[in-house]
Amino acid sequence: MDDVITVTNLCKSYAVGVTRSMVLRDVSFSVKRGECLFLVGHSGSGKTTLLSILGCVLSADSGAVEMLGERVTEFSPAEQASFRRHRIGFVFQRYHLFEALNALENVKVPLDLLGAEPAKARRRALELLARVDLADKARRRVTQLSMGQRQRVAIARALAADPDIVLADEPTASLDKTAGWNALETLKTLCREEGKTAIVVTHDDRILPLADRVLTLADGGLMEEPGGDEPPSSAPVKLKSPRRKSIAEGEAGES
C-alpha cells in the first residue's frame, strides 16, 4: 500500500506567558492507504494539535506534512481550505449535526457546499445512510435519533464528498460501550471498503482493538503499538480523561 500521509520532524509549541511549551517535538510517521490509525495519549499530549495540523486547520512551527503527494504545510490558507473541502472528511466528538435538518439533509451538506447535482447528492446520502444501517431514519430529525445513531449520521456525512482521508476527534466520547464500538466499526468498515485512510484520536481504551496501528503521544514524541480486531470485553472500562475541547470548538492549547 502507498503512503497517503507522511509526517516528518513536525514541531509545534504554544506561548505560555513569556515562555513556550513544546507540544509536538520532531514527530515523524506515515500512514498507508486504507489504514485505520489511532492516536492516543494523556490530555495535553498533543493529539488534537496533531490532528488539527493534519486537517489543515492549524499550522506547524516546523517540519513537513505530505498528504496525497502534496506538501500541505506549504499551502496558503486558501489552498488549505480547498484541500479540506475536497480531500478530508471530519468526524467530531459532539457530532455537529444541524438539528433543524433530518438525517438525509445532514449527510448531503458537504455535497451541497461543493455544488453537487441535487439528485446525485441525494442518492449518495441515501446510499451512505443504508450502509450505516440508518436507511429507515433518513427523514428523522437529529433530535429524534439516539446518540449512537447521530454519530453514524456524522460518519456518513464525513464520507459523503468521497474524501481520501477521514479524521475523527474523540468520536466515541459521548457514547456508551456498545454504541462506541459499533460507530467505530462502521467507520473502519466504510473506510476499508472505499479505500479511505482514517486517523482517530481517542482516550477510549474500549475501541483500541479496532485500530490497525496505535501511536501513543507522550512528551512530544511517538510510541507505536500493534492494533487488532478483538471485540470489547463485558467488563466496564474507565476512560482515561475528562472531556476537553475539540477541533470544532477552536481550541488553541489543547489535547
Reported pTM: 0.85
pLDDT at 255 over 80: no
Residue 254 in domain? no
Residue 122 in domain? yes
DSSP state of 253: S
Sheet holding 36-40, edge to edge: 88-91, 165-169, 197-201, 36-40, 213-218, 221-226
Residue 123: all three cell numbers together: 442518492
Residue 255 in domain? no
CA distance 5 to 17: 34
pLDDT at 237 over 50: no
Percent of the chain with pLDDT over 90: 73
| Confidence band for 232, pLDDT divided at 50, 70 and 90 | very low
Q: Phi, psi at residue 144, to the nearest 5°?
A: -95, 5
Residue 159 in domain? yes
> 121 lies in which domain range?
3-249
pLDDT score, position 67: 96
Burial of 56 (0-12, 13-18, 19+ CB in 10 A): buried
Residue 235 in domain? yes
Question: Residue 9's Cα: distance from chain center in Å?
Answer: 22
Average pLDDT taken over every residue of the chain: 87
pLDDT, tens digit, 9 for 90 and up, residues 160-215: 999 999 999 999 988 999 999 999 999 999 999 989 999 999 989 999 999 999 99
* Cross-strand bridge partners of residue 10: 27
pLDDT score, position 2: 85
Say how many domains are in the chain. 1
Question: What CATH number is given to the structural domain containing 149?
Answer: 3.40.50.300
